[in-house]
Amino acid sequence: MELLSSTKSFGGWLKRYKHESVAVKGEMTFAIYLPPQAETQSVPVLYWLSGLTCTDENFTQKAGAFRKAAELGLAIVCPDTSPRGTEYPGEHESYDFGSGAGFYVNATVAPYSNTYHMYDYVVQELPNFVESNFPVTDKRSISGHSMGGHGALICALKNPGVYQSVSAFSPIVNPTQCPWGEKAFTGYLGEDRAVWKEWDATCLVESNADKGSERLPLLIDQGEADNFLVEQLKPEALEAVCEKVGHPLTLRRQPGYDHSYFFIASFIDEHLAFHAKALS
């Protein structure tokens, strides 16, 4: 583990590291905010997953989350959004596939199947690494934005009991039925749409209900002025399935807000309080 930077903020510390990852077979970078309480005790962790084109720095520099995290005694961990440096053919040609667009799945189509295992990295490797090297507890919550909102939802829905709470901003809730998801899933998972359903929050809510799985409450904020709302995000699909199977969902449609970090910064304190309550 190599420390890249360390910056004091609201009595705590924002630190960036890179380390060798087994899951993606290469170096990964992540950021961790340790609140002032971490100086004397172990604190719970919120994992934040970012969206298309982002790195760990988008959230840390734009969300304005650290004042509230310091108040609540909450650590925040922000991983990158894909492996880096693999240089596959076409990997860097578009914003919505390849570099910066790992979609938090385990790819099964070559060459991406060699390294694009962001799901294993986020759910298993990174939390184990963080819990072994920092003053944090094994209590975890997860949140994210857009592609990262999709990631947060599937990580929680696929792993009952692992996360205390889950929330999302403008998530891609039904990727099997939108252009972003169809492109990514074809490239990472192949042509079989039945396989795709294991990585789609709307499908997982329905299948989990059939299995009698945990029904972790979902908190989602969606801007009504979001340019991607109709074509890509489709919150009404998740809303309909949750209503059908009785899965608890709080979907807050926010008038006038778009897809940007201005939207996230406006409501991040409420999400942090939601997670801190569950983690306590």
Tell me how far apart the alpha carbons of residues 70 and 12 are, in angstroms, rounded to a whole number. 7
- Give the alpha-carbon dihedral of 275, 75, 175, 222, to 10 degrees: 50
- Out of 143, 146, 165, 170, the active site residue is 146
Active site residue 150: no
Q: Could you tell me which residues are beta bridge partners of residue 34?
A: 13
Answer whether 34's CB lies under 8 Å from 41's CB: no
Structure tokens at 204: 């997982």
- Written as six digits, the tokens of 218 are 């979902």
Whole-angstrom distance, CA of residue 64 vs CA of residue 44: 19
Our answer to whether residue 271 is catalytic in this structure is no
DSSP state of 191: S
**259 catalytically annotated:** yes
Indicate if the alpha-carbon torsion angle 21, 105, 224, 267 is positive or negative: negative
Q: Which one-letter DSSP state was computed for residue 134?
A: S
Catalytic residue among 56, 80, 221, 226: 226
Tokens representing 259 are 């897809």
Task: Please pick, among 117, 145, 259, 271, the residue that the annotation labels catalytic.
Answer: 259
Active site residues: 146, 226, 259
